[in-house]
Structure 1
Amino acid sequence: MAVTIRDVARASGVHVSTVSRTFSAPHLVNAETRTRVLAVAEGLGYRPNRAARALTTGRTHNLGLIVADIANPFFPPLIKAAQAQARERDYHVFVADTDEDPLLEQELIETLCKQVDGVLLCSPRLSNRVIERLRAQVPFVVVNRRLKGLTTVLMDVGQGAGVAVEHVAGLGHRRMALLTGPAGSWTSGEIRQAATDRTAELGVELTVIGPNEPTEHGGLAAAQAVAASGVTAVLCYNDLVALGLIEGLRERGVDVPGDVSVIGVDDSLPGRLSRPKLTTITMPTAAAGRMAVDLLLATIAGPAAGAPPRTTVRLETGLLIRESTQRVSSS
């Protein structure tokens, strides 16, 4: 016979309602009691009926996770961390990819909001106005986009960009280019502002090239402009753009890092395996995924459960120096 919630309650020495809350609203159950109930349930092989629980609590125990481009190596570590964090809290995650298309992003949110308790938006391309309208339909937490009145998790890429500028300036570079990302990208805007400010402080001339497609094709397409600009260092929107740029420069007889130093953003796997290995701004993607899930579940629980007010969490970035940057040539 199938194990029931009453069997778990009897073996745990608690009321049936306590077992129910352990699975439907664990934050309302004493930690020691919750641990005991979960251990007993595991030992007995009890599995709660999600459909029945949804009817009782009004919660699906599903979350939506929408990313701009699942093929971009920046996103998989964030997705994996978010899924693991949600699983620990008895939630499932539906992952969707917008392919950088704001109309598709809006359509996905409108579809998912009927099936999930909340949505994580990662690097959204939607306008603030549309997000404001959609937030009335489902709780949101946004990653890498600052929005007034919404809980957000920001990876401080501006901090990393400032350190990157200091790095190339310290290597003697005085003419630098910035390859920006898509128009309207929060990350691109943060990198541009920080690079503009820091180059001005250090007396480095900055040439901005973009917007660019956030892929290796974007870097390839920008290679001619970089080669013609006379710069000796380039900071790119992400690692994919940087790797495309390196290939495009190589095709034009420009050596990296001998002639031009190149820096990416993300510390993705392709940059670790490339030749030369890519100097890059490290992004705390896994930490952001875990933090975003916790903040979304707190938002879903609401003020009655002691949820924190809407907030912005900023995670630090850093610079990982590899082979694609070197001291400027004296020739």
Structure 2
Amino acid sequence: MDQTAGTNRTALTEFILLGLVESEKLQSLVFVLFLFAYMVTVGGNLSVLTAILVEPKLHTPMYFFLGNLSVLDVGCITVIVPPMVGRLLFHKRTISYDACLSQLFFFHLLGGTDCFLLTAMAYDRFLAICRPLTYSTHMSQEVQRILVAMSWACAFTNAMTHTTAVSTLNFCGPSEVNHFYYDLPQLFQISCSSTQLNELVLFVTGLILAGTPVVLIIISYIHVAAAVLQIRSVEGRKKAFSTCGSHLTVVCLFYGTGIFNYMRLGSEKASDKDKGVGLVNTVINPMLNPLIYSLRNSDVQGVLWRILVGR
């Protein structure tokens, strides 16, 4: 710990994560479950990504975005779970200040990219169903790359903004965080300096990263629903709703937990409820995404089956 200049306060150079459970027996169970969830998530997302890469039939805009989503899911869970599993394995709860900021930056970089990418996927579905005649023009490979690049650029700006803002805060105790990873709400609660500006920045960026995409997704699917209902073929309507249903399920899970986590700052202290929401947001969502898309998509199922049986 370092003495801060001009004050009697002591600046923290490391924090203590209390984790999900305190019992050593339960910690062993948590270790096994999280390691299993990580392996399933990485394996599932890489399987979907492999299917998209090896099957020419899947070289379409929808699967291009889905492949990028799989990469993001692997990245998101890798930022959180391996450090947590390592702490459980070596019975270590502390994390350095620099490691905390690094985790915060990459978590918001990948999560923010996810926000914009889900919006791009909704736009793709809108063009495919409502503007089929001009779809190839409006969703060319160049447009796809631009949308992905813009998603990364906007998310990078957001992550850098929050990381820089947090680095200006003073942390002088207590050092214990009642969670299993570090995020903005938890750091605000243990800061000994004013966090009003940080909370305002989080609220404004939350409106941009969550509010704007949600509005655009809703508008897109209103048009999609109106177009699908005009399809005379029952099989055609079922296929369209099935494709859109997978995306909407992922959107609801992602934005639901994200809005609950960030849009209620100052309402209450950290609790097990926060841990549950964080668990869904960082572990369960990335694990479910490949299952949601592959189980509801016959094309992906067919390719994965051919890969598994060696044909």
Same fold (TM over 0.5): no
- Give the TM-score band, short-chain normalised: under 0.3
Give the alignment's TM-score, normalised by structure 1: 0.25
Structure with bigger gyration radius: 1
TM-score (norm 2): 0.27
Structure with a larger share of its residues in helix: 2
Q: Which has the higher strand share?
A: 1
Using CA pairs below 8 Å that are at least 6 residues apart, which structure has the higher relative contact order? Answer: 2
